Amino acid sequence: MSLDIVVLAAGQGKRMHSPLPKVLHKVAGRPMLAHVLDAARTLSPRRIIVVHGHGGDLVRSTFAAMDITWVEQTEQLGTGHALMQALPGVKPRDDVLVLYGDVPLIRAETLHALVEARDSGLAILTAELADPSGYGRIVRDAQGSVTRIVEEKDASADERALHEVNVGFLVAQAGRLASWLARVKNRNVQEEYYLTDVVQLAVAEGVRVASRQPKDAWEVRGVNSRHELALVERAYQNATAKRLLESGVTLADLWRIDVRGDLRCGTDVSIDVNCVFEGKVTLGDRVRIGPNCVLRNVTIAADTEVHAFSHLDEAQIGARCRVGPYARLRPGATLAEDVHVGNFVEIKASRLGAHSKANHLSYVGDAEVGRSVNIGAGTITCNYDGAAKHRTVIGDECFIGSDATLVAPVTLARGSYIGAGSTISKDTPPDQLTVARAKQVTVRGWKPPRKK
């Protein structure tokens, strides 16, 4: 039998106090719905159906590149009603797994375990929570079998004292689900059609209800408010930090790291506090990242150090480099091995050859810098003429004096020595000193102006 997955993602999320659809609010830098879809795809379903409602156009456009069947829930009449919108497109004999777009941390292995339990007829996911407030409670008989789910607003005092809760995920045959949903009533406090009511209907038909639980309770934490979103974010980051520690990475503080993408680390990597990793980041063996750094889509080779408050974006960094503190590498920055980029230096769309240095207060943009080049403090490449970008080429073993201005397009030949304070607008010859600055003049007898 085939498996179809239905993701319920139509909720408005009023408590978020935002016009953005709830499932598009981000966890670890990505929409909550994206995390759910990633987990769903690991099951290789025949189709993924997303039921949308509030802000549906924006939700669809956000995931336009994905193979998703979209179904609209025009009226928000509960989870049971939402699933009913999707079932007409599912073959009656196929199985249906129901997920939620605002429960982003569900593990793929938890879903696999739930699907494997579907042979019983109906399988649901439950969790034991120290504080079950807000969740429907699982009611079992004396033999421990699930008999029904009662929503908190409809529960008695004894039922509210239960700590096993329903987290909403379930799997069953589509035909059976459609039959049960057709008999669900909205006689409850919220006057909604609860998907959870199918459990009691299944039991009444003699169908055994199997249950599975996640490894960690945070997997099934739903998001209905900014506070809950923050709690889910921390749960995600803490779990990521633990995985890094278990793989041999040294973290100064496991509570002060944010991974918003794919972070891969070699052996003996060290990461200080308050660092943010976005997109795809690869850190080679023995790389050290100082505090308060931001790395986005960066590859760093072995034995490189990134010092405090550095910002690296779409950059490639070779082995044994030293970057920062307060350095900025913008898209297209490439450093060969043993390159030093120091404090308040900005590199953009440029390559620095091996053993080259730009240690202080410089801007290198749209440049090709050779090997063993020294770029003095305050040096800038003037790469933009107001209409187009131009390149600067600096040959091997050049020495650029402090406060030099290199007006592109310009080429400095191998071994060029540029005097401090020079403005270089013409190509320079190899192994020669070039000085281009105004003659120093002292005006004898000059007196400063005085106020009248």
CB atoms within 10 A of CB 443: 6
8-state DSSP, 413: P
- C-alpha count within 13 angstroms, C-beta hemisphere, residue 415: 4
Amino acid at 218: W
CB atoms within 10 A of CB 257: 23
Contacts of 198 (CB under 8 A, 6+ apart): 80, 122, 170, 172, 177, 180, 181, 184
3-state secondary structure of 441: coil
Strands 334-335 and 351-352: parallel
Instruction: Given the residues 54, 112, 360, 390, select the one marked as catalytic.
Output: 360
Identify whether 360 is a catalytic site residue: yes
What is the residue-wise DSSP string for 335-374?
E-TT-EEEET-EEES-EE-TT-EEEES-EEESEEE-TT-E
- Phi-psi region at 133: left, alpha or beta (left = phi > 0; alpha = psi -120 to 50): beta
Residues with active-site annotation: 360
